[in-house]
């Protein structure tokens, strides 16, 4: 129960941080509540996605509570499953990378709160919180947002999410 409360507090603080970053590029992950055995899909959303040519980042999740199933609902031009490193050892360790480049070489603008894809998991842990977050600098990739003028965006915000797990 204590971990679930801490997860909810983290979600509230993340939401407050999002409001503080209103003019900054944001990547954020949804949060949900589920019971063990449920399948959940957590959307990765964007805010201030203005004139973006490319994007890459890494993800990490709690493998004791979330078992990776698939990535779905691709919502960027040309985005395909091969743009994710979602196979082999990284998945077993609760890690994946993502890299997208707009192949028509123009910047893309999306409405705030647009879901660009979903990560789907089976909830395998007991009561608590299964975190799913971005890893901005890791041994598998660094987070970079590329503007249409080929410059790398100097500041951005990454807001994780996850699953509050409770008995039905």
Using 50, 70 and 90 to split pLDDT, how confident is the model at 135?
A: confident
Per the CB < 8 A criterion, the answer to whether 72 and 118 are in contact is yes
| Better pLDDT: 100 or 89 | 100
pLDDT at site 111: 97
Structure tokens at 93: 């360790």
- Residue 150 to residue 25: CA distance in whole angstroms: 16
Kindly tell me the number of DSSP H helices and DSSP E strands found in the chain.
Answer: 2, 12
Residue 62 has pLDDT above 70, yes or no: yes
Residue 11 has pLDDT above 60, yes or no: no
Per-residue pLDDT, averaged over 35-50, amounts to: 96
Q: Pairing state of beta strands 49-61 and 144-147? A: antiparallel
In terms of pTM, does the model score above 0.85?
no
């Amino acid at each position: 129960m204590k971990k679930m409360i801490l997860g909810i507090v983290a979600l509230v603080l993340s939401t407050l941080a999002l409001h503080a970053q209103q003019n900054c590029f944001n990547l954020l992950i949804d949060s949900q509540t589920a019971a063990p055995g449920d399948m959940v899909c957590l959307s990765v959303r964007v805010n201030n996605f203005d004139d973006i040519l490319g994007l890459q980042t890494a993800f990490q999740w709690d493998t004791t509570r979330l078992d990776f199933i698939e990535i779905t609902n691709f919502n960027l031009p040309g985005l395909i499953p091969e743009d994710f490193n979602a196979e082999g050892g990284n998945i077993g360790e609760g890690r994946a990378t993502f890299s997208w480049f707009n192949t028509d070489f123009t910047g893309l603008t999306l409405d705030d709160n647009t879901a660009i894809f979903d990560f789907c998991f089976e909830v395998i842990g007991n009561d608590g919180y299964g975190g799913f977050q971005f890893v901005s600098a890791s041994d598998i990739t660094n987070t970079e947002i590329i503007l249409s003028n080929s410059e790398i965006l100097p500041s951005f915000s990454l807001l994780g999410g996850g699953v509050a797990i409770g008995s039905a």
